[in-house]
Structures are given as structure tokens and as C-alpha cells.
Amino acid sequence: MSRVGKYPVSIPSGVTVTMAGKVVTVKGKLGELMLDTKDDVETSVAEGKVWVKAKGESKRARAQWGTIRATINNMVKGVSQGYKKTLDINGVGFKAAAQGKKLNLSLGFSHDVIYDVPPGIEVKTPAPTQIEISGADRQRVGQVAAEIRGYKPPEPYKGKGIKYSDEFVLRKEGKKK
């Protein structure tokens, strides 16, 4: 069983953490994130650190203890440094273009796929075959990357499609005579 909950979350300079009832608010240079904590945990801010404690010894309280601590740590890191995912596009004629709050994807379909970027997320295309997704909320950045990848996941024979930059696509051998 993990004991990640017992470690405090240190607050770097430039980041403020406030508590209002069960709501934890983290503000930094990249934005503001809020978390509604559960009844099973108790959070407190003291001496530049956030402490999370389980209110009981139930299985749910122990699970929420580590989860809430990890989420607060991700929020603090997100508003101070931010999170970034990079997607690569492989395939003849496959490309992407960011236009304001829309991402235009040409993926070999009879039409272009237009993805509306949610608020709080920034999408850039440094090259026509590369997409950079960045933001303060780790969950949202990962979700947007997964949704974009979902339009055309990489296939195992030629590797065509959208993949994470650090993803390895296991290639299969083609049909033999």
C-alpha cells in the first residue's frame, strides 16, 4: 500500500494555496485551479506546505488520502511550471494547423477534422506533423491529447496516425504470399 499521503506538498515561491471549507484553491503565474476535497480527508496549510490527513482508517479514507495529496501536488506544479504533451503525426498528407482556438486536422478522411480547444489549454503546431498541447491542469492536458489521438490512432502495419512523441508503436509484418 502506498504511503504518499503522509508527505507534505511544498509550495514554491509565486504560488498561493488557500482553503475555503473543503475547497482548495491554488493560484500561480499560469492560472488558478480549484479542488473540492472529500469528507474523508482533512487538508491544512502551514509553514509553506500543504498537509493532507485521513479522517479515519476506512479503505476509502486511506485511498482518498493519497489521491487528494497527489492531485494537490499536480495543481501546484501545474500553476508554477505547467504540463505539456507532444503528438506526432505520421502518414502521407496527414497534417495539423492551429488557428486560434481551433485545431484543423487533415487525416486522410473525406473531410478535415476541426477540434475546438477547451479553455485553459493552449495548442501549437511548430511543424505540420507535430502538435504541442500545454496547460496548467494535468488531467485536461492529457484528456485533450487523448481526444486528438483518438481521431486516428497509429496502426501497426505502417505506423500511420497520431501518436504521442514518446510512444512506441509495435509494428507487425505484412501478409505473405
Residue 46 pLDDT > 60, yes or no? Answer: yes
Same structural domain, 50 and 71: yes
Domain total for the chain?
2
Same structural domain, 22 and 47: yes
Place of cell 479522517: 55
Same structural domain, 23 and 66: yes
Confidence of residue 49 (pLDDT cuts 50, 70, 90): very high
Mean pLDDT of the chain: 92
Same structural domain, 71 and 139: no
Q: What are phi and psi of 165, to 5 degrees?
A: -65, -30
Same structural domain, 88 and 160: yes
Per-residue pLDDT reduced to its tens digit, 92-138: 999 999 998 999 999 999 999 999 999 999 999 999 999 999 999 99
pTM of the model: 0.88
Which of 37, 65, 80 is the endpoint of a domain?
A: 80
Segment 37-52 mean pLDDT: 89
Same structural domain, 152 and 90: yes
Segment 12-20 mean pLDDT: 91
Confidence of residue 4 (pLDDT cuts 50, 70, 90): confident
CATH number at residue 36: 3.90.930.12
Confidence of residue 148 (pLDDT cuts 50, 70, 90): very high
DSSP letter for each residue of 109-124: SSS-EEEEPPTTEEEE
Task: Kindly state whether residue 172 falls inside one of the protein's structural domains.
Answer: no
Q: What order do you get walking across the sheet with 31-36 strand by strand?
A: 16-20, 23-28, 31-36
Same structural domain, 98 and 65: no
Same structural domain, 100 and 121: yes
Which of 57, 80, 103 is the endpoint of a domain?
A: 80
Question: Could you tell me the residue range of the domain that residue 158 belongs to?
Answer: 83-164
Which of 24, 47, 80 is the endpoint of a domain?
A: 80
Same structural domain, 51 and 67: yes
Q: Given this model, what pLDDT does residue 33 score?
A: 94
User: Which H, E and C letters describe the chain, residue by residue?
Assistant: CCCHHHCCEECCCCCEEEEECCEEEEEECCEEEEEECCCCEEEEEECCEEEEEECCCCHHHHHHHHHHHHHHHHHHHHHHCCEEEEEEEECCCCEEEEECCEEEEECCCCCCEEEECCCCEEEEEEECCEEEEEECCHHHHHHHHHHHHHCCCCCCCCCCEEEECCCCCCCCCCCCC
Q: Given this model, what pLDDT does residue 79 score?
A: 94
How far is Cα 45 from Cα 161, in angstroms, rounded to an integer?
46
Task: Kindly state whether residue 174 falls inside one of the protein's structural domains.
Answer: no
Same structural domain, 71 and 98: no
Cβ–Cβ < 8 Å for 98, 87: no
